[in-house]
Chains A and B, each alone.
Chain A
Amino acid sequence: MRNVSIKILLFIGALTILSCSSRNNHLEHNNFIQIDLSCRKSQFPLSSFIYDIYAIKLELPTPYFFGVITDVLFTDSTLFVVDKKQGNVFRFKKDGTFLNRIGNRGGGPGEFLSLYNFFIGNQYVFISDLNIRQIHCYTHDGEYVKSISSTFELVYDDIAALPNGKFLCHDIQGHKNESKIWLMNEKGDKEKTLLFHENNYPYSYTDWNTISTTMDNKLNILDPISGIFYLYDIEKNELAQTLHLVSEEKDLSAFRNVETLSEIKDKYAYLSFIINTDNYLYSIWSTSDNIAVCSLYEKGKKNVEVFEMPKMDFPDYSICPIPVSTNLPNAMVAIMTDEYPLEYFPKQYRDGISEQVAVVYVMKFK
């Protein structure tokens, strides 16, 4: 009788372990970085961590004009400027000469209803249209190649092309037990879930991407809800937790089963943007006070500076604009359009600013 009971217990125990391990949300980690956002300066000199700035003036031909630029992505000789608001992707030479546009709005082959993401692959560039769950593939010259269709049940907020033809997808907010970080195959099907959503949390979206490329065939993925940084190793097809940035305020993972930020009465701060360079982690935090706070973590000295804005102290430049998403390593990229006041532009570009002109800032980290 006793032996039978022990066997039953062992069987139930094994069942429990098996059912838990099939959906494992926990990844190994030990790299916590604590940032004290309350102890902040109003400004911090840009030259403390940036060693060089150069600007590229971009000019569009008629009838095009710049709207809200969210990404500036570089190749060896060109750059792509993404305007999600108008649904435009413009390609320029690195000297600012306009080359071509990628894709069109519409309902025909290769056309999109809305531009959710633009990203660069090995050979082609891609535009994802989540309204119709399609990814359109183009040459760099803008010639339409093919479209990849997914089912409407598949959801992501950021996506990156992998060298093997697959896609890494990140669904930031999602619902409990749905896929959070997952792989899409070449046909548009879900191939593998790398991480599930632990619960339902509130979130407010930004124009900043959460997936960024690194050297060595790896991708960084920021989870803004928890401040956790993941590293996806393309060759090994593995996801690992690398860093966890926390502040003294609650992050969004503290508000389980809350749908929106407006429902939260407590103070909170969460990581919205991060640049991971060789020597620094430069971050922008969104706070419940509606003031964005910047933090700079120096990896070597493990020193943290917290400030409201970087102080522009390079000659001929007035301010440090709000950064945009980029694929350029060890650099912060920003773009100024006519939405900025004229006095904010570098002195040499102030004449001739119009809705067809934009100035890209490339700020190189030390």
Chain B
Amino acid sequence: MKTKFLLIGVIVVSAIFISSHKENKNIDLLLENIDAYAGSDEHGDIDETLVPYSKLGEKTIYCILDGKMLSTKIPCCKPDPSKFSGCAKGLDNC
């Protein structure tokens, strides 16, 4: 009886392992396709008004008003590892 339970356990764990592996492979393939598509002549460089390898973020600015420290949020550019990311050139860095 114990052997049967063990066998069932092994099969279940293996099935989960294999399926998750397959899912990862599918995601990798999809990303490769997107990379290839974006890297083609028609979709190569990002817009010239954008700073490459950066993306839109937000920044908190503080000021003292009526004896309190108040904050407000402004858009800013932060570095990003993706070559397909870009952020507007006129914005401050985060």
Q: Which residue of B lies closest to A151 (CB)?
A: B81
Task: Evaluate contact between B60 and A272: CB separation under 8 angstroms.
Answer: yes
Task: Evaluate contact between A261 and B81: CB separation under 8 angstroms.
Answer: no
In the complex, what residues of A have CB within 8 A of residue B92's CB? 85
Q: Does B37 contact A (CB under 8 A)?
A: no
Interface centre among B17, B73, B83, B93 (most CB of A within 10 A): B93
Complex partner residue of B57 from A1, A133, A173, CB under 8 angstroms:
A173
Q: Does B14 contact A (CB under 8 A)?
A: yes
For chain B, the count of residues having a C-beta within 8 Å of the partner chain is: 36
Q: Does B40 contact A (CB under 8 A)?
A: no
Instruction: Give per-residue flags for A173-189: 1 if the beta carbon is below 8 A from chain B beta carbons, else 0.
Output: 10000100000000000
| CB-CB under 8 A for A284 and B64, given A12-B10, A12-B14, A85-B92 | no
In the complex, what residues of B have CB within 8 A of residue A2's CB? 2-3, 6
Task: Evaluate contact between A292 and B71: CB separation under 8 angstroms.
Answer: yes
In the complex, what residues of B have CB within 8 A of residue A152's CB? 52-53, 81, 83
Task: Evaluate contact between A8 and B10: CB separation under 8 angstroms.
Answer: yes
Complex: A154 Cα to B5 Cα, angstroms: 48
Complex partner residue of B73 from A130, A153, A262, CB under 8 angstroms:
A262
In the complex, what residues of B have CB within 8 A of residue A321's CB? 64
Q: Which residue of B lies closest to A9 (CB)?
A: B10
Complex partner residue of B68 from A261, A262, A291, CB under 8 angstroms:
A291
Instruction: Give per-residue flags for A136-180: 1 if the beta carbon is below 8 A from chain B beta carbons, else 0.
Output: 000000000000000011111100000000000000010000100
In the complex, what residues of A have CB within 8 A of residue B70's CB? 290-292
Q: Does B13 contact A (CB under 8 A)?
A: yes
Task: Evaluate contact between B17 and A114: CB separation under 8 angstroms.
Answer: no
Task: Evaluate contact between B78 and A157: CB separation under 8 angstroms.
Answer: yes
Complex: A156 Cα to B69 Cα, angstroms: 28
Q: Does A116 contact B (CB under 8 A)?
A: yes
Instruction: Give per-residue flags for B48-70: 1 if the beta carbon is below 8 A from chain A beta carbons, else 0.
Output: 00011110011110111001111
| CB-CB under 8 A for A286 and B60, given A1-B3, A262-B73, A292-B69 | yes
Complex: A260 Cα to B60 Cα, angstroms: 12
| CB-CB under 8 A for A12 and B13, given A2-B3, A5-B3 | yes
Complex: A262 Cα to B74 Cα, angstroms: 11
In the complex, what residues of B have CB within 8 A of residue A308's CB? 67-69
Task: Evaluate contact between B62 and A262: CB separation under 8 angstroms.
Answer: no
For chain A, the count of residues having a C-beta within 8 Å of the partner chain is: 44
Task: Evaluate contact between A5 and B10: CB separation under 8 angstroms.
Answer: yes
| CB-CB under 8 A for A204 and B81, given A2-B2, A12-B17, A308-B68 | no
| CB-CB under 8 A for A114 and B13, given A2-B2, A205-B59 | no
Task: Evaluate contact between B94 and A205: CB separation under 8 angstroms.
Answer: yes
Complex partner residue of A6 from B6, B14, B68, CB under 8 angstroms:
B6
Q: Does B9 contact A (CB under 8 A)?
A: yes
Q: Which residue of B lies closest to A12 (CB)?
A: B13
Task: Report A272 CB to chain B, min CB distance, Å.
Answer: 7
Task: Report B44 CB to chain A, min CB distance, Å.
Answer: 16
Task: Report B12 CB to chain A, min CB distance, Å.
Answer: 11
Instruction: Give per-residue flags for B29-41: 1 if the beta carbon is below 8 A from chain A beta carbons, else 0.
Output: 0000000000000
- Excluding A2-B6, A286-B71, 11 further A-B contacts by CB distance (< 8 Å) are A5-B10, A12-B17, A42-B67, A153-B81, A156-B79, A204-B57, A205-B94, A261-B58, A284-B69, A291-B70, A308-B69
Listed from nearest, the 9 A-B pairs whose CB atoms lie closest are A205-B94, A292-B69, A5-B6, A152-B53, A153-B81, A205-B59, A130-B79, A204-B60, A155-B79
